[in-house]
Chain A
Amino acid sequence: MKTAISLIFFCWTVCYAQHISSTELINKAKEYDGKSVVYAGEVIGDVMVRGDFAWINLNDGQNAIGIWLDKELAKEIKFTGSYQAKGDRLEIAGVFHCSCIQHGGDMDIHAQNLRKISPGKLVKEQLHTGKRNFTIILFGILFLVLIFVRHQSSFGDKVKLPQE
C-alpha cells in the first residue's frame, strides 16, 4: 500500500509539479532542505558509478547540481553534455539536501524518479571557413615577416647579455 502511495506521489510530482531552478535551490537552500523537489536539466560531464549508485550532474542553464541516483536509473542516460555532445535532458524528482550528511555536506538531490524530457545527441562540428581562411592568410603574413626578420638577424638566436 505504502509503495503504491509513494509511486502515485512521485508520478504526480513528476507530471504536475513545477521545476525548481538551481538558483532558487542555492539561494533558499535551508527552506528546501529535506523536501521533495522536481529539478530538470542537462546531464553534463561523466556518469560516475559508485557501487549500486551513481553521481550525475544536471545543469539547468544557471548552475549544475549533483544528483545521487540508483545505478539502474542512470542506465537510461545515453548522452552527457560536452563540447561534442548535447546531453540528455532529464527531470528528477527527489529529496533535496542543502548539506547532505551522507555525502560530506555537499548540496545534492537524492533522486527517486527520473524522466527523460529530451534525448541528447552528438554535435557534429562544422568547419568555420572564415577561421580557416584567416588562418591561411595569417600564415602567409607570418611567413613574410619571418623572411623579413631573418634578413637582419636570425630568429632563435639567444640574446647575449653581459655576465652578472
Chain B
Amino acid sequence: MILKPQLQDLKNIGYYSGKIIIGVGLTMLVPAVIGLLFAEINPALDFLIATEITSIIGLILTKLCFTEEDLNWMQGMIVVSLSWVAAMLLGAIPLYLSGHWGSYLDACFDVMSGFTTTGLTLVQDLDHISYAHNLWRHFTPFLGGQGIVVIALCFFVKGVSGAFKMYVGEARDERLLPNVIDTSRFIWLVSIVYLILSTLVLGIVGIANGMKTANAFFHGACIFMAAFDTAGFAPQSQNILYYHSLLFEVITIVIMFLGAMNFNLHYHLWTGNRREIWKNIESRALCITLLFTFLITLIGLNQVGSYPRAVIMFRKGFYQLISGHTTTGYMTIYARQFINDWGALALAGLICAMAFGGGSCSTAGGIKMLRLGIIVKALQQDLKRIVSPEPAIVEQRLHHLKEIFLEDKQVRAALLITLAYLVLYGIGALVGMFYGYPFLDSLFESTSAAANVGLSCGITTPGMPAGLKLTYIVQMWAGRLEFMSVFTLIGFFIAAIKGR
C-alpha cells in the first residue's frame, strides 16, 4: 500500500527547501557586487532583482512551512531534488534579463548546466556579455560542484542528522571527517585554497600571454571554477582555443585532474598520505580507462589522418580526451570538428571516456571510477570462483581509503547505478535521433549531457528543438544527483496521486 504524503512531509520539505533557496539567493549578490565594481549597472540590477525574488520565495516558504522536526530519508532526498530545480528556475532570472539568452528555457538550460557542472551552453553573443553575468555562469558550477546543499549545510544547518540525509541526496555518501558539516566545510576549504592559487597562476600566465591584467585574473578565476568543478564553461565563445597557449592547456589539465579526484583523496593529499593516491582503486581505474580510451582515440585519429603530425594529434587528442574523461568539457577545437575531422572510432573512444567519468565524491559526473572498479573486481571474483574448486570460498578485496572485502550489495548498487546511466545515455540518444540528428551525434551529445561533461559536437545550439533542451536538462539533473533523489521525487508524486 502506498501512503499519501502528509502535511508534515510537505512542511518539512518546504522549510528546508526554503532555507536552500535563501542560500542560492544570497550567492547572487556576488555577481551583483562584481557588476557594480566594473560599473555595469544594468547587470547588477539583474542580480539584485533575482536575489530579491529568490529571498522573498525562500522566506515565505520558511515562514509558511516552519517546523522543528527532523528530516527523514525520503524528505531529505526530495528537498535535494526540488532545491536543484528551484535553483535552476531562480538562478536563470538574471541570465534571462541580460538578453543574451533567447528564451527563459535557454537560461534555465545554462543554469542547470552550470549547477550540474556540465558546461553545455545556449548563450548568444558570449563575447559581449558583462563581467557580472559571465561570473555567474562560472560561479554556478563552483556552487553546484561542491553541492548546493553543501553550501546550506555550511551556513544554515547546525545539526547533523537531517544534514547527512541531504548530503547523501546530493550524490555524496562519503564522509571525510566524522561530521558531515565538517566534511562540507573541508570541501569548501579545499576549493577556496585551490581557487586562490589557480587564479594567481592562470592570471600570471594570462598576462604573460598578452592579456590585460584585469581580464587575465578574471579569466583565471572563471577558468579555475569551471575546470576544478569539471564544468567546461569559458569566458569567451572559443572556449580554451581563445588563449592560443600550450601553458594554459597544461595548467587546465592539472586543474581538471584535481577536480575529478575524490575529495577523500584530496584529504589524504593534504594530510601527507600520498601513498593512498597510488593505492586507491579509483586512481588505478582512472589510469587504466584513460590509457584504454586514449589508445582508441589515437588509433581513430590516425586512421582518418585528422592531424598532420603525431605531436599535434597527441596534443589535440589528449586534451579533448582528458576533458571528456574528467567530465569537464573544455575544448581546443570547434564543436563541428568532432564530426567533420575526428572519425567514428576516435569519437567512440571519447564517448567511452565521457561515459566512465571521474572519481566518486568529486565534482565529476559519469558512472565513476569507484563503480567501474567494483564491477571489474566482481568480475574477477566470479572468474576466480569458476576456476577454483567448488568448496573454496573466494574473497575479493579492493582498496578504497582502506582495505575492503567486496560484498554483493556493493556490486549490486554499482551495477544498478551503472545501468541507470547507460539507460539515460540511450534515452537521450533516442530523443536526439527522434529530432533528426544522426546516431553518433545524438549519442555523443546525450552522453555529454547525462555524464555532465559539456563537450558538444554541435547539436547544442540556441536553435535546437525545445524538447531536446528539456531532455538534456533532465539528463543533466538526473546524472548529477545520481538518480536516487530523482527516483524518490517521482515516487513522492506517485504517492501523492495514488496513495491512501
A residues lining the B interface (CB < 8 Å)? 26-27, 29-30, 44-50, 54-55, 57, 59, 63-64, 66, 68, 81-84, 98-99, 101, 103-108, 125, 127-128, 131-132, 134-135, 138-139, 141-142, 145-146, 148-149, 152-153, 155, 158-164
Per-residue contact bits, chain B 32-71, to A (CB 8 Å; 1 contact, 0 not): 0000000111110110110011011001101100101011
Instruction: With both chains docked as a complex, state the minimum distance between the C-beta of B467 and any C-beta of chain A, in angstroms.
Output: 25
Residues of B within 8 A of A (CB): 16, 19, 22, 39-43, 45-46, 48-49, 52-53, 55-56, 59-60, 62-63, 66, 68, 70-71, 97, 127-131, 156-164, 180, 209-212, 215, 236-238, 241-244, 246, 306-309, 312-313, 315-316, 332-334, 336-337, 340-341
B159, A159: Cβ atoms closer than 8 Å: yes
In the complex, what residues of A have CB within 8 A of residue B308's CB?
99, 101, 105
Apart from A64-B127, A138-B49, list 20 A-B contacts with CB within 8 A.
A27-B336, A48-B244, A50-B209, A55-B210, A55-B244, A59-B127, A99-B316, A103-B244, A104-B246, A105-B308, A107-B337, A125-B40, A131-B42, A145-B55, A148-B63, A158-B156, A158-B157, A161-B159, A161-B163, A162-B161
Given A44-B236, A158-B158, A29 and B68 contact (CB-CB distance below 8 Å): no
- Given the known inter-chain contacts A45-B236, A46-B210, A46-B211, please indicate yes or no for A160 contacting B68, CB distance below 8 A: yes
Residues of B within 8 A of A29 (CB): 337, 340-341
Report how far A72 CA is from B62 CA in the complex, Å.
62
CB distance from A104 to the nearest CB of B (A): 5
Interface SS of chain A:
mixed
Q: Chain A nearest CB: distance from B436 CB in Å? A: 18
Query: Shortest distance in angstroms between B4's beta carbon and chain A's nearest beta carbon?
Result: 25
Bound-complex Cα distance A162 to B336 (A): 54
CB distance from B3 to the nearest CB of A (A): 23
Q: How far is B70's CA from A44's CA once the two chains are assembled, in angstroms?
A: 53
| CA A152 to CA B59, docked complex, whole Å | 12
Q: Which of B60, B244, B246 has the most CB of A within 10 A?
A: B244
Check A135–B334 contact: CB distance below 8 A: no
Q: Is the CB of A161 within 8 A of B70?
A: yes
Interface centre among A55, A83, A106, A155 (most CB of B within 10 A): A83
From A26, A128, A161, B160 is in contact (CB under 8 Å) with: A161
CB-defined contacts of A105 to chain B, threshold 8 Å: 307-309, 312-313, 315-316
Q: Give B210's nearest chain A residue, CB to CB.
A: A48
Question: Which of A50, A54, A164: most chain B CB closer than 10 A?
Answer: A164
Q: Is the CB of A153 within 8 A of B66?
A: yes
Q: From A44, A81, A131, A163, give the contact of B45 (CB < 8 A).
A: A131
Nearest B residue (CB) for A107: B334
Contacts of B40 in A (CB 8 A): 83-84, 125
**Assembled-state Cα–Cα distance A83/B38 (Å):** 10
- A57 near B159 (CB under 8 angstroms)? no
Which residue of B60, B209, B307 is within 8 Å of A145 (Cβ)? B60
B59-A155 in contact (CB<8A): yes
Q: B56 near A162 (CB under 8 angstroms)?
A: no
Q: Is the CB of B56 within 8 A of A160?
A: no
Tell me which residues across on chain B come within 8 A of A98, comparing CB atoms. Answer: 341
> In the bound complex, what is the Cα–Cα distance between A148 and B64 (angstroms)?
11
Closest to B53 in A: A138
For the complex formed, measure the closest distance between the CB of B308 and the CB atoms of chain A, giving whole angstroms.
Answer: 6
Contact check: which of B19, B160, B241 meets A66 at CB < 8 Å? Answer: B241
Once the chains are docked, how many angstroms separate the CA of A127 from the CA of B340? 45
Contact, CB under 8 Å: A49 / B337: no
Q: List 18 A-B contacts (CB under 8 A).
A: A26-B340, A45-B215, A48-B211, A50-B210, A55-B244, A63-B238, A64-B237, A84-B40, A105-B308, A106-B241, A131-B45, A135-B52, A142-B59, A152-B63, A158-B156, A159-B159, A163-B160, A164-B180
In the bound complex, do residue B341 and residue A46 qualify as a contact, i.e. CB atoms below 8 Å apart?
Answer: no
B238 CB to nearest chain A CB (Å): 5
Residues from chain A with a CB closer than 8 A to the CB of B60 are 145
Query: Once bound together, how far apart are the Cα atoms of A155 and B465, in whole Å?
Result: 43
**How many angstroms from the CA of A50 to the CA of B334 in the assembled complex?**
23
Q: Out of A64, A152, A162, which one reaches B236, CB within 8 Å? A: A64
Closest to A23 in B: B336
Measured in the bound complex, the distance between the Cα atoms of B71 and A159 in whole Å is 11
Q: How far is the CA of A153 from the CA of B236 in the complex (A)?
A: 45
Given that A101-B312, A125-B42 are contacting pairs, would A46 and B332 also be in contact in the complex, using a CB cutoff of 8 Å?
no
Q: Nearest A residue to B152 by beta-carbon distance?
A: A159
- Return B304 CB to nearest CB of chain A, in Å: 10
* Contact A159/B156 with A107-B333, A152-B66 known, Cβ cut-off 8 Å: yes
